[in-house]
Amino acid sequence: MITIPTEGQYNMHNTDFCPHANFVDFLWPNAYERMLKDFPKNELFKDEFPKDRKHGQRPHCRRFFCIGETQGSKYFDEYMVEIEQLPSIWYQFCTNILKNKDYHKFICKALNVKTFKIRFDFHKTEGGLDVSPHIDSVGKIGSHLFYFMPNGWTDEDGGKTIFYRDKKVDKMNPEPKDFKKSVTTSVIGNRSCLFKNAEEGWHGVTQVNSNVHRQICNVVILK
């Protein structure tokens, strides 16, 4: 179901931005097509529209559900679903990620860790929304984002992961204009992006400009 890249096929530290690597066809093409077709139904998602965010950052608004490790946080309780509620192909994917020794070796090598836990976060983001620049909480080691944009999605539809550097302001709630440089991922087709949480690992999501939802599964790598 997944193809593990060899170390020579990627470089997490080939940039001055948040350490990250982009992959094409990490999922087997036939698996990707089935996962796109059977992306979890809207009924599993709940609105996550918080009123505020730490440091006064703009809230990150989306539809959301999750499976797995919560690190004891009560926040995720209302969004948690059982893995058995997933469509069959997604159940296969999640159990594969949880049990695949080669994937775990890959994550340990790429993120330079010895052990980790996993939570699966599923996001659907509607048009007009973005994710403001932020750094992930200290409990996160990194994230492996798998993109499942609906067929016909184009670069103009946005929804790209964006990494920032060289913040021009001394505050923890910056906007995109407050950085000197940025770089975006491609989210079209069978693509994924692995990135490591870092002290200056500012990142976000560009505005969604489509009348259909941006769709992702985030394999959250946790301490």
CATH code, domain carrying 202 = 2.60.120.620
Residue 132 lies in a domain: yes
- Domain of 162, in residue numbers: 7-222
For residue 51, the model assigns a pLDDT of 74
- The angle at the Cα of 101, spanning 95 to 103, to the nearest 5 degrees, equals 75
Q: Using alpha carbons, select from 17, 69, 73, 11 the residue that is nearest to residue 198.
A: 17
Q: Which SS3 state, helix, strand or coil, does residue 108 take?
A: helix
Residue 217 lies in a domain: yes
Alpha helices in the chain (DSSP H): 29-37, 88-99, 101-111
Q: How many domains does the chain have?
A: 1
Residue 201 lies in a domain: yes
Residue 1 lies in a domain: no
For residue 14, the model assigns a pLDDT of 66
Q: What's the pTM value of the predicted model, to 2 decimals?
A: 0.96
Residue 144 lies in a domain: yes
For residue 21, the model assigns a pLDDT of 96
* CB proximity list for 83: less than 8 A, separation 6 or greater: 67, 68, 91, 94, 95
Residue 41 lies in a domain: yes
Residue 119 lies in a domain: yes
* CB proximity list for 7: less than 8 A, separation 6 or greater: 109
pLDDT in tens, the chain (223 residues): 999 999 889 988 767 899 999 999 999 999 999 999 999 999 999 999 987 777 778 889 999 999 999 999 999 999 999 999 999 999 999 999 999 999 999 999 999 999 999 999 999 999 999 999 999 999 999 999 999 999 999 999 999 999 999 999 999 999 999 999 999 999 999 999 999 999 999 999 999 999 999 999 999 999 9
Residue 2 lies in a domain: no
For residue 7, the model assigns a pLDDT of 84
What is the C-alpha to C-alpha distance for residues 19 and 13, in angstroms, rounded to an integer?
Answer: 5
